Amino acid sequence: MTAPRTPSLVTTPEELRAALADGGRVGLVPTMGYLHEGHARLIERARAESDTVVVSVFVNPRQFGPREDLSRYPRDLTRDLGVAGAAGADLLFHPGVEVMYPPGYATNVTVGGVSEPLEGSSRPGHFDGVATVVLKLLGLVGPDRAYFGEKDWQQLAVVRRMVRDLNVPAQIVGVPTVREASGLALSSRNSYLTPEGQERAAVLSRALRAVQAAASRGERDTARLRQAGLDVLAGEPEVSLDYLTVVGGDMAERERVENDPMTRVLVAARMFGVRLIDNLPLWPDLPRQAGGEGT
C-alpha cells in the first residue's frame, strides 16, 4: 500500500523543471482530471516503477469537437490532488490553456494510419489534439515512462505510434481498464450518468464479453463475432451505437481473426446523451508480445 502524500502543485514549465531537477526515473500519468480509481491504478503503477511520479491535469481543448462537452467536462482540482496523493504522486502539473497554447501557437501533430478509423472518423481532429498535447507533455516532463489506460485503446495505439515514429525517448505503458462491479469501465464521463444509467451502461461490457465468448467457442468470422455483441445491445433501448468492431494491432478491421494477442473488440455508443467507449482483448489469456506495440 502506497503511503498517502500531498503532491506539490506546479502550473508552469519553469516550476516543473525546478521540481524535477534532482533527476532519477520519472513516471508521467497524463490526465484530464476528475481522477478516479482507474487513474489511481496508473499512478500506483508509475509509483512502483519510478523515483518521481508526475500527474498532469489539463482539459485539452484541442481534442474536443465543436459540439462536444468541453464546457461541462468535470473539473475538481481538490479531488484530483487527493486521489493523486493517495496513489503516490509527487507532483501534479496543472497548466493553464495559455501555458500549453500561448498566443500565436500554430503547431499540430498528426499521426496517420492508426488514428484514422473509428474514433478518428467519428471525432475528426480528436487524435491530432491528443497527439499534440501528449508530445508537449512528454517534452515538458521528459519521463522515462508514461502511463495510459487501456480503456482508450485507440488513443494508446496513436501515442505508441507517435513515440516510435518520432524517436521520443519514453516507454509508453498500457494499464488494464478498471471496472465497476457491473462491468462498466471507469470514466470521468460516467459522472454524467445517474446510478441507474451507470448500471444500464454496463450493457456495453456485456456485449464485449459476448464477442469474447463467441471467439472462445471457435468463431473466427468477424461478422458473426460482431453479431454476438449486437444481440446483447439490442436488449437495451438507450443504446445509440456508433461502432462495434474487431481490429488488429494496427486498428484495421478484420474479416477473419486468428489467435493474436493484439486483436481487440471495441465499442462506442451514446447512452442517456453520454458517449461511452470500451474494449476488451478478443483472447484475454494470450500473453502480450514483448517489445511490441501491445506492451
36 is catalytic: no
CB 257 within 8 A of CB 220: yes
Beta-carbon contacts of 177 under 8 Å, excluding residues fewer than 6 positions away, are 38, 149, 150, 151, 185, 186, 278, 279
CA distances from 73 to 36, 57, 68, 76 (A): 14, 13, 9, 10
Of 36, 39, 94, 126, catalytic:
39
CA 113 to chain centre: 18
Closest CA to 108 of 67, 61, 155, 170: 61
- Which phi and psi (to 5°) does residue 149 adopt? -80, 145
Using CA atoms, how far apart are residues 146 and 156, in angstroms rounded to an integer? 11
Rounded to the nearest 10 degrees, what angle do helices 77-87 and 37-49 cross at? 40
The CA distance from 18 to 25, in Å, is 15
Cβ-in-10-Å burial (0-12, 13-18, 19+) of 235 comes to exposed
Question: Which of the residues are catalytic?
Answer: 39
